């Protein structure tokens, strides 16, 4: 049949668009859950991109110099699954039939590591745009290091109205425009529909003017969502732009070509009825059978992609011919740029007082040059947080190899950009801000943890020790809030030297885990003698005994700066003839991963215990009998006064132990 629905589509592309549109109805209908309309409207764009431009090879999905594709509007995930099947990736009929079902390879929103072609975990709107910024940045740095012959790919993002409404899109687009990330192209699906109804209920932005103001190249193709040649022309114009990222605005009609559902809010999140599906399949000219798949389509597309697949073979040959440089690239990609440490930093003097945030700068000074994949930056607090790369320079369009990244006051975008860098491969980024601003970053922290992104989130000014800035800047509930997040390693070192050790652990790990490193603003004692030895031996295990005694009648447990307070209380109690033991717990999750016998020996729950931490007490009873902390907002005053005001002192511990022992008599 002539392709009256999808202008310019080749017969093969037309078959794919029709099949994907049908699957976009069948899968949500079977699951009784999902989003058909957006996937249907975007099927022509997706097929055009995968067929004519995307640098990819279905026979080798993890080829490192492939283009990256991100579906930021992840609710339309069935589009990506349909594309993956049609183009010969390992997504089978049974996978499509299991859409949104337990343990399937076609979850409700795209999850990296689960389905072929899915580069990042998307769903919460807007973050995919920032992930794309990070991936583009990663490609630029690698290309600067290794040359265009070894690194030469692009990042493509499809985003919707919701993505552009979310604040992170503003942060990320502004940063991308400033950096001139010309290999980033975002397609904006301007379908004018949200769950509540028309976007005009709450939106009348001019996206063209907005993105031009950010410094983007903007192409508005108008009513051309079903015209593959018009979409191709716009995409070629994006590729020809070498100074700026590109936004391509496409006015689509949600649910096309389902006459009963097109341009209706119900097409956004409601499965179509059997009657609508049958009628629409007749319009599409496809079999009425649910989940009908053209058996020849994947192999025909794999054959059509032969020139692109040959690019992968040619790339492999160039890598082999590049000798040491090629091997270095492969190693960096395979290890996410792991550090190879041959030079250790000078340790801080035992018994001196040093803020753990100052240790971060010493770690950067020594470890950065030994960690090929490190990028580092801050949300406008570089000097305060200690993430200055003295051996590198600022990332910019004129300096594509710069690893020092000035994210500006854009905490949320910074976090999601770093996730994109990490999941691109070849990097283990570090980004920093004050701990209280982890609130601004939490959605990206969550997706980082969910997607196993090896990112180091550096948070300084970790407690009421911030002092005069007051309760707006004094984190209280933040440690517990982040500890509640699955997979995230929340690390609060006991002193400056322990900080050096734990930073090295992240940078040199074979597989880096998502880590929140929480550091002090105020100076705190550096452990000495056997205390320091205990830290060196076991801090990486998440919890360890700092001081032990078989005669101990009480255990004092602390984290961060409060470990020193526990040690002071231990000495004061010893002067009174009361023997205690001291335990440091820099990382709960790391500790929980240790063998049960080790955990029992550290905690020794057979004797009473108490924790001291300058934050919320919620959750501590998993490890101790009583918890001393702060369950109210802070106070604007010098830090030492605030600690005393909230009873975060050795004297508080001494009184607690004495009272508890007296009551037990």
d(CA 601, CA 94): 49
pTM value?
Answer: 0.97
Query: Which residue from 584, 377, 437, 422 is spatially nearest to 514, judged by alpha carbons?
Result: 422
d(CA 194, CA 112): 26
d(CA 665, CA 659): 10
What is the model's pLDDT at position 40? 98
pLDDT of residue 4 exceeding 90, the answer is: no
What is the model's pLDDT at position 482? 98
pLDDT of residue 423 exceeding 60, the answer is: yes
d(CA 132, CA 522): 37
| Residue 391 confidence class, pLDDT cut points 50, 70, 90 | confident
What is the model's pLDDT at position 308? 87
Q: Please identify which of the residues 139, 171, 411, 504 carries the catalytic annotation.
A: 411
Buried b (16+ CB within 10 A) or exposed e, 83-98: bbbbbbbebeeebbbb
Angle in degrees, CA 247, 252, 258, rounded to 5: 155
Angle in degrees, CA 387, 520, 453, rounded to 5: 50
For the chain, what percent of residues have pLDDT higher than 70?
Answer: 100
Are the C-beta atoms of residues 94 and 57 closer than 8 Å to each other?
no
- In terms of C-beta density within 10 A (0-12 exposed, 13-18 middle, 19 or more buried), how is residue 215 classed? middle
- What CATH class does 353-525 carry? alpha beta
| Residue 2 confidence class, pLDDT cut points 50, 70, 90 | very low
pLDDT digits (tens, 9 = 90+) for 442-489: 999 999 999 999 999 999 999 999 999 999 999 999 999 999 999 999
pLDDT of residue 160 exceeding 70, the answer is: yes
What is the model's pLDDT at position 408? 97
Domain 11-308, second-level architecture: 3-Layer(aba) Sandwich (3.40)
pLDDT digits (tens, 9 = 90+) for 223-234: 999 999 999 999
Are the C-beta atoms of residues 583 and 543 closer than 8 Å to each other?
yes
pLDDT of residue 1 exceeding 50, the answer is: no
pLDDT of residue 66 exceeding 90, the answer is: yes
What is the model's pLDDT at position 130? 98
For residue 488, the number of C-alpha atoms closer than 13 Å in the C-beta half-sphere is 25
What is the model's pLDDT at position 518? 98
Same fold, 11-308 and 540-664: yes
Q: How far apart are the first and last CA of the chain?
A: 92
What CATH number does the domain located at 540-664 have? 3.40.50.920
What is the number of helices (H) and of strands (E) in the chain? Answer: 26, 18
pLDDT of residue 85 exceeding 80, the answer is: yes
581 strand-pairing partners = 555
Please say if 4 is a catalytic residue.
no
Query: Which residue from 480, 479, 420, 478 is spatially nearest to 454, judged by alpha carbons?
Result: 420
Q: What is the mean pLDDT of residues 206-225?
A: 98
* Token pair recorded at residue 189: 């699906």
Query: Which residue from 372, 373, 348, 342 is spatially nearest to 360, judged by alpha carbons?
Result: 348
What is the model's pLDDT at position 665? 84
Q: What is the mean pLDDT of residues 6-31?
A: 98
pLDDT digits (tens, 9 = 90+) for 566-591: 999 999 999 999 999 999 999 999 99
- In terms of C-beta density within 10 A (0-12 exposed, 13-18 middle, 19 or more buried), how is residue 204 classed? exposed
Are the C-beta atoms of residues 412 and 126 closer than 8 Å to each other?
no
Are the C-beta atoms of residues 366 and 345 closer than 8 Å to each other?
yes
pLDDT digits (tens, 9 = 90+) for 133-152: 999 999 999 999 999 999 99
Q: What is the mean pLDDT of residues 379-402?
A: 93
pLDDT digits (tens, 9 = 90+) for 270-317: 999 999 999 999 999 999 999 999 999 999 999 999 998 899 999 999
d(CA 214, CA 198): 26
pLDDT of residue 507 exceeding 70, the answer is: yes
Domain ranges of the chain: 11-308, 353-525, 540-664
Average pLDDT, the chain: 97
* Token pair recorded at residue 399: 């300096």
What is the model's pLDDT at position 346? 97
Are the C-beta atoms of residues 65 and 308 closer than 8 Å to each other?
no
pLDDT digits (tens, 9 = 90+) for 528-564: 999 999 999 999 999 999 999 999 999 999 999 999 9
Q: What is the mean pLDDT of residues 323-329?
A: 98
């Amino acid at each position: 049949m002539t392709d009256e629905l999808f202008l310019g589509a080749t017969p093969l592309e037309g078959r794919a668009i029709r099949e994907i549109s049908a699957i976009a109805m069948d899968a949500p209908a079977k699951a009784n859950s999902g989003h058909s309309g957006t996937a249907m409207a975007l099927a022509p764009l997706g097929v055009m991109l995968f067929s004519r431009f995307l640098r990819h090879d279905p026979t080798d999905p993890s080829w490192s110099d492939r283009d990256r594709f991100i579906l930021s509007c992840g609710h339309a995930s069935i589009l990506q699954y349909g594309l993956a099947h049609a183009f010969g990736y390992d997504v089978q009929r049974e996978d499509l039939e299991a859409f949104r079902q337990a343990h399937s390879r076609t979850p409700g929103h795209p999850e990296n590591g689960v389905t072929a072609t899915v580069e990042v975990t998307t769903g919460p709107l807007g973050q995919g745009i920032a992930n794309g910024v990070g991936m583009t940045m990663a490609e630029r740095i690698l290309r600067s290091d290794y040359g265009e012959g070894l690194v030469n790919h692009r990042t493509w993002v499809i985003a919707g109205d919701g993505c552009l409404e979310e604040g992170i899109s503003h942060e990320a687009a502004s940063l991308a425009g400033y950096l001139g990330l010309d290999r980033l192209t975002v397609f904006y699906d301007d379908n004018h529909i949200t769950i509540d109804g028309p976007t005009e209920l709450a939106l009348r932005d001019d996206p063209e003017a907005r993105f031009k103001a950010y410094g983007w190249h903007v192409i508005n193709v108008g009513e051309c969502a079903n015209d593959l040649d018009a979409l191709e022309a716009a995409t070629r114009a994006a590729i020809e732009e070498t100074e700026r990222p590109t936004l391509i605005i496409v006015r689509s009609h949600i649910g096309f070509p389902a006459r009963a559902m097109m341009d209706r809010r119900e097409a956004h999140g409601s499965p179509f009825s059997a009657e609508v599906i049958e009628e629409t399949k007749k319009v599409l000219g496809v079999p009425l059978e649910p989940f009908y798949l053209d058996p020849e389509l994947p192999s025909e597309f794999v054959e059509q992609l032969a020139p692109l697949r040959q690019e992968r073979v040619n790339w492999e040959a160039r890598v082999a011919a590049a000798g040491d440089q090629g091997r270095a690239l492969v190693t960096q990609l395979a290890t996410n740029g792991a550090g190879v440490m041959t030079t250790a930093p000078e340790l801080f003097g035992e018994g001196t007082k040093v803020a753990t945030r100052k240790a971060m700068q010493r770690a950067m000074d020594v470890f950065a040059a030994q960690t090929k994949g490190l990028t580092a930056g801050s949300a406008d607090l570089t000097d305060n947080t200690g993430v200055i790369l003295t051996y590198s320079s600022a990332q910019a369009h004129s300096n594509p190899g710069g690893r020092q990244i000035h994210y500006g006051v854009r905490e949320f975008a910074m976090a999601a950009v770093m996730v994109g860098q990490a999941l691109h491969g070849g990097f283990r980024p570090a980004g920093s801000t004050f701990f209280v601003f982890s609130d601004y970053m939490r959605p990206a922290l969550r997706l980082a943890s969910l997607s196993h992104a090896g990112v180091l989130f550096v948070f300084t000014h970790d407690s009421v020790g911030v002092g005069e800035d007051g309760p707006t800047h004094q984190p209280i509930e933040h440690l517990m809030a982040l500890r509640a997040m699955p997979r995230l390693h929340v690390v609060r070192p006991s002193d400056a030297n322990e900080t050096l050790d734990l930073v090295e652990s992240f940078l040199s790990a074979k597989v880096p885990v998502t880590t929140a490193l929480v550091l002090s603003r105020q100076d705190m004692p550096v452990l000495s003698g056997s205390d320091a030895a205990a830290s060196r031996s076991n801090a990486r295990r998440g919890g360890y005994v700092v001081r032990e005694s078989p005669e101990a009648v009480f255990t004092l447990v602390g984290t961060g700066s409060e470990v020193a307070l526990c040690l002071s209380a231990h000495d004061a109690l010893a002067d009174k003839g009361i023997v205690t033991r001291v335990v440091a717990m820099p990382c709960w999750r790391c500790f929980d991963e240790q063998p049960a016998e080790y955990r029992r020996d550290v905690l020794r729950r057979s004797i009473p215990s108490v924790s001291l931490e300058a934050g919320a007490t919620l959750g501590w009873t998993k490890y101790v009998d009583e918890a001393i902390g702060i369950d109210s907002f802070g106070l604007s005053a010098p830090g030492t006064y605030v600690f005393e005001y909230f009873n975060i002192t050795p004297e508080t511990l001494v009184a607690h132990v004495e009272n508890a022992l007296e009551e037990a008599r």
